[in-house]
Amino acid sequence: MAEVMWTLNRHVLALATLLLCGVAYPQGQKVGHIDRGQLILQMPERAAAVTKMEAFAKTQEARLKAMADEYKAKRATAEAPPTGLSKTERDVMLRELQDLEQRIMSAQEKAEEDMAKMEQELLLPVVQKANEAIRTVATEQQFTYVIDSSVGLLMIHHGTDLMAAVKAKLGIK
């Protein structure tokens, strides 16, 4: 995904440079622009994906909180051990505490990885759908170039804003 965005940003930058320098811009070519980020924010599929990610995040947080509560309880016991505990028993208790701490850190890392993977899986189709709608509208309306104004490279504003047409194509009001 990052690779695609980098390639897209390079192409947009190259196009913007050509347009700003006035190099090879024959008459008859149509230039349009769209804030793709804003379009994606308005898509219902994105809202559904965010809802799923939030629900997943809450379950992960609850799991990690339960582990943290267990850690706190064991730590309190280890810091104020009952009398009559041998050094070996205390060492075992401290090792268990360290093991639990390692499991918590591993669980946090895994939760972050799972969340990133889920975000990728849920949002990639949304981005692809937006890109396809932009391509379709650009083709239907015979645009030669479409600049993504959400990347901040839109320096001139002579092109046509395709937001309304793409939203209509996606059925977004």
Structural domains present in the chain: 2-8+18-170 (3.30.910.20)
For residues 132-140, give the mean pLDDT: 93
- Per-residue model confidence as pLDDT tens digits over 21-60: 444 445 678 888 899 999 999 999 999 999 999 999 999 9
65 vs 164, which has greater pLDDT? Answer: 65
**pTM (global) more than 0.85:** no
Q: Looking at the predicted structure, is the pLDDT value of residue 7 above 60?
A: no
Note the residue count of the chain: 173
DSSP assignment of 129-164, as one string? HHHHHHHHHHHHTT-SEEEEGGGT------SEE-HH
Q: E strands, 28-104, where?
A: 31-34
User: What is the tens place of the pLDDT at every residue in 77-122?
Assistant: 877 766 777 888 888 888 999 999 999 999 999 999 999 999 999 9
Contact residues for 57 (Cβ-Cβ < 8 A; gap 6+): 115
Burial class (CB in 10 A: 0-12, 13-18, 19+), 80: exposed
Residue 5 reports pLDDT greater than 70 = no
Q: How far apart are CA 138 and CA 147, in angstroms?
A: 11
Higher pLDDT pick, 15 / 31? 31
Q: Which burial class, exposed, middle or buried, applies to 26 when counting CB atoms under 10 A from its CB (0-12, 13-18, 19+)?
A: exposed
User: Going by C-beta distance under 8 Å and a sequence separation of 6 or more, which residues neighbour residue 81?
Assistant: 90, 93
The whole-angstrom separation of Cα 32 and Cα 75 is 62
Instruction: Please list the residues that pair with 145 across neighbouring strands.
Output: 31
